Structure 1
Amino acid sequence: MKSAFLTPLITECVDDLAAGGRGTWRVMAPFRYQSEILGRVIEVEAGFLTDYASVPRLPVLYLLFGDTSHKAAVIHDWLYHHHEVCDEATANRVLREASEADGIPAWRRLGIYLGVQIGGTPSWRADGPA
Structure 2
Amino acid sequence: MSKFLTSLVMENATDRDDGKWRLTQPLIYDSDVAKQVIVVPTGFVTDLASVPRVPIAYMLAGGTSNEAAVVHDYLYTEHTVDRATADAVLKEASAVTGVPAWRRAIMWAAVRAFGASHWDSKPISV
Normalization by structure 2: what TM-score? 0.93
Shift of 1:62: 0.4
Deviation readout 1:90-121 (Å, 9 max, x if unpaired): 10001000000111000000010011001101
How much is the aligned-residue C-alpha RMSD, in angstroms? 1.1
SS at match of 2:72: helix
- Structure 1: segments with no counterpart, 5+ residues: none
| Mapped partners of 1:112, 1:118: distance in 2 | 10
1:80 corresponds to which of 71, 76, 93? 76
Count residues with an aligned counterpart.
122
| Mapped partners of 2:11, 2:50: distance in 1 | 18
Normalization by structure 1: what TM-score? 0.90
Equivalent position of 1:99 in the other structure: 94
Q: Give runs of ≥4 in structure 1 deviating > 4 Å.
A: none
Percent same amino acid at aligned positions? 46
- Structure 2: segments with no counterpart, 5+ residues: none
1:27 aligns with 2:26: no
| Mapped partners of 1:56, 1:17: distance in 2 | 16
SS at match of 1:118: helix
Alignment of 1:99-118 (within 5 A): 99-118=94-113
